[in-house]
């Protein structure tokens, strides 16, 4: 009977759930009729939307109350600055780049390559380093592959995926244009664009496979190099040679490269003295045979070539980051994050022949971006800021469009002017990390997460801090291959190792349930709710937490709240208000309050049920 009552409560609540100088505002004012109304969302909705979008976490209930009661007319701008300056922002946006580059470890057991790339990305976010500077660090890194803040992991996937060197180089170029430019060039790595890409990408229709080879030629001098001197030094000291420690990622056209100090690993037959020689036969690699001879490095989109004194990779990094499409791509990705879809979708689907009305008209095509003028205006701002993320985010977040009450538009014409908001596209399910963090937050349970290779950093408190999709690691204190212990759990305050491992598995299972995906297994992220996630929320481990307690110390927050209700310290209305604010970041309306109050009555055990009902509302899972 009690279960039936809980479900009835859930069904009842579910039915009820559902600046002048800002360039976005200026664009809005130009496009909109004078009398069209653009209602702004209420403070509760705004703070929840802002914090989940910008930090991936729920706001603290006390901070919510403080914000809502604040009478300062600039309080939203101040809250935006607070969110952008928070460490939670650093966690969320480092994770953004980890995912953008599919940061993962494929070969080193200690995950050092993944962790060092993560540190490089995080340093850029924390310091608001210009995106162009961070990109150049990624594209030009040379040195030991397991070095501090090495970006070798950026290159490793293509090396591991193919044994044929020309395919490796082609894959790396396609990856660079995809991530840094938002342009998918993989098609023309196999054939010319003409007769293949009409109606798909008009710019690539005009491109030839030989132009793609010119891009790959920028990378032809890169190689994995075995440092024989390091091997000899280890042997002389009778130390065990760590194979991974002697591998280097190098440019053979660098002035300081000494070919006598070692040898190129695994690609001697195809290295061709650092040249891209477009000669291959059928069956060599995964692409059609090549016939083009020695290819010189030429940037496909502008015709630029290396300058005197540059390595080829240095030239590519310089040219790519100076390309306006480099800035436009990042603006589009950030816009897509905050508004649900980009000016161009998918974000790596740019057609450079259809960027605006003029270029599109020249080929009798429709412009690709929803609003090319606004996209270019924000791109100008991004470049002028030194390619910094926070200034353009601040512009977006302070806009009327971002703060729009899209559920209560006074004029349906609004959706026609701002298609990003039409059809409730702005409503999206939270990412798996945001959901799991929110569950830990509202239940008051500490997940005690540990990461492979990062024991020295201690526990992680947010799933956004996890650098890879195989974390947290239940065996973080052990080398799974050798069985040796890497650290003592007791040194970290872990008294019950079994309980610790259970927590790690639970977090991993929850992240998997909500669609985090797997970079290693090439399983993409899935932010859609399905029957599996719904049943998991209602009947799985989450139900065990909320209704039965969960873990040895039980559910600390809800146990305390139920106890306060039972002892009379808090009334039923106070309990309801507190739970709504904590879980949904708002106050209950009169009908919701009446339903919840009638259900709980004087039964303190039903406080657990209300929490269960609230986290099972669509409102909890969506923003």
* pLDDT tens for each residue of 278-300: 999 988 889 999 999 999 999 99
- Give me the mean pLDDT over the 557-577 stretch: 93
- Token pair belonging to 395: 């512009």
Above 90 in pLDDT, residue 596?
yes
| pLDDT score for 267 | 62
User: Which of helix, strand or coil describes residue 409?
Assistant: coil
| pLDDT score for 246 | 82
Measure the CA–CA gap between 95 and 99, rounded to whole angstroms: 6
User: Which of helix, strand or coil describes residue 296?
Assistant: coil
| pLDDT score for 481 | 67
Local structure of residue 429 (DSSP, 8 states): B
| pLDDT score for 448 | 84
What residues does 478 pair with on adjacent strands? 485
Measured between alpha carbons, how far is residue 388 from residues 331, 332, 457, 547 in Å? Answer: 10, 14, 27, 46
| pLDDT score for 120 | 97
Above 60 in pLDDT, residue 460?
yes
| pLDDT score for 40 | 86
CB contact set of 376 (below 8 Å; sequence gap of 6+):
328, 356
| pLDDT score for 551 | 43
| pLDDT score for 39 | 78
Exposure letters 220-245 (e unless 16+ CB within 10 A, then b): bbbbbbbbeebeeeeeeeeeeeeeeb
**Comparing 260-264, 458-462, 473-477, 601-605, which segment has the lowest mean pLDDT?**
260-264
Tens digits of residue pLDDT in 325-372: 999 999 999 999 998 889 999 999 999 999 999 999 999 999 999 889
Q: How confident is the model at residue 579 (pLDDT cuts 50, 70, 90)?
A: very high
Measure the CA–CA gap between 419 and 406, rounded to whole angstroms: 11
| pLDDT score for 557 | 87
Above 80 in pLDDT, residue 545?
no
**Comparing 187-201, 223-237, 297-311, 416-430, which segment has the lowest mean pLDDT?**
416-430
Above 80 in pLDDT, residue 518?
yes
* Residues 168, 170, 172, 174, CA torsion sign: negative
* Residue with the larger pLDDT of the pair 408 and 157: 157
Interior CA angle at 343 toward 337 and 345, to 5°? 80
């Amino acid at each position: 009977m009690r279960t039936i009552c809980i479900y009835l409560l859930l069904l009842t609540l579910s039915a009820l759930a559902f600046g002048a100088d800002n360039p976005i505002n200026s664009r809005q004012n130009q496009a909109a009729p004078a009398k069209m109304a653009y209602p702004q969302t209420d403070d509760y909705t705004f703070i929840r939307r802002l914090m989940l979008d910008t930090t991936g976490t729920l706001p603290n209930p006390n901070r919510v109350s403080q914000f809502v009661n604040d009478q300062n007319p600039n309080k939203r701008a101040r809250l935006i600055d607070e969110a952008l300056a928070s460490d939670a922002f650093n966690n969320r946006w480092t994770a953004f780049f980890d995912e953008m580059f599919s940061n993962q470890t494929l070969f080193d057991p200690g995950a050092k390559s993944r962790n060092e790339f993560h540190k490089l990305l995080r340093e850029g976010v924390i310091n608001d380093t210009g995106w162009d500077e961070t990109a150049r660090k990624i594209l030009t890194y040379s040195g030991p592959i397991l070095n501090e803040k090495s970006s070798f992991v950026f290159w490793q996937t293509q090396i591991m995926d193919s044994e044929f060197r020309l395919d490796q180089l082609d894959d790396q170029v396609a990856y660079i244009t995809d991530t840094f430019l938002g342009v998918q060039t993989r098609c023309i790595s196999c054939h010319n664009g003409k007769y293949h890409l009409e109606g798909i990408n008009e710019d690539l229709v005009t491109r030839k496979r030989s132009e793609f080879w010119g891009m790959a030629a920028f990378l032809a001098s890169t190689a994995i190099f075995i440092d024989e001197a390091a091997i000899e030094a280890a042997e002389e000291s009778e130390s065990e040679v760590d194979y991974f420690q002697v591998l280097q990622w190098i440019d053979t056209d660098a002035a300081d490269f000494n070919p006598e100090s070692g040898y190129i690993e695994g690609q001697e037959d195809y290295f061709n003295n650092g040249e891209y020689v477009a000669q291959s036969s059928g069956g060599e690699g995964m692409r059609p045979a090549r016939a083009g001879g020695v290819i010189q490095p030429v940037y496909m989109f502008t015709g630029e070539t290396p300058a005197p004194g540059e390595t080829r990779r240095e030239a590519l990094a310089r040219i790519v980051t100076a390309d306006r499409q480099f800035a436009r791509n990042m603006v589009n990705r950030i816009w897509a994050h905050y508004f649900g879809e980009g000016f161009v979708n998918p974000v790596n689907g740019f057609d450079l022949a259809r960027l605006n009305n003029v270029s599109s008209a020249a080929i009798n095509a429709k412009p690709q971006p929803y609003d090319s003028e606004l996209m270019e205006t924000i791109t100008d701002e991004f470049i002028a800021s030194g390619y910094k993320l926070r200034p353009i985010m601040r512009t977006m977040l302070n806009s009327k469009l971002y703060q729009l009450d899209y559920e209560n538009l006074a004029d349906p014409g609004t959706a026609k002017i701002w298609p990003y908001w039409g059809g409730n596209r702005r409503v999206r399910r939270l990412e798996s990390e945001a959901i799991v963090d929110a569950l830990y937050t509202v239940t008051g349970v500490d997940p005690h997460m540990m990461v492979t290779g990062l024991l020295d950093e201690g526990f992680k408190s947010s799933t956004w801090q996890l650098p890879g999709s195989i974390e947290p690691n239940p065996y973080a204190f052990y080398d799974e291959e050798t069985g040796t212990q890497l650290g003592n759990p007791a040194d970290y305050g872990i008294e019950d190792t079994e309980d610790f491992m259970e927590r790690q598995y639970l977090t991993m299972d929850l992240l998997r349930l909500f669609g985090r995906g797997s970079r290693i297994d090439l399983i993409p992220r899935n932010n859609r709710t399905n029957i599996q996630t719904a049943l998991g929320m209602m009947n799985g481990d989450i139900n065990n937490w909320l209704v039965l307690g969960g873990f040895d110390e039980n559910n600390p927050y809800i146990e305390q709240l139920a106890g306060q209700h039972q002892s009379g310290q808090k009334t039923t209305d106070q309990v309801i208000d507190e739970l709504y604010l904590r879980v949904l970041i708002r106050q209950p309306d009169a009908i919701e309050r009446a339903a919840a109050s009638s259900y709980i009555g004087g039964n303190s055990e039903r406080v657990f049920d209300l929490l269960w009902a609230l986290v099972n509302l669509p409102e909890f899972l969506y923003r």
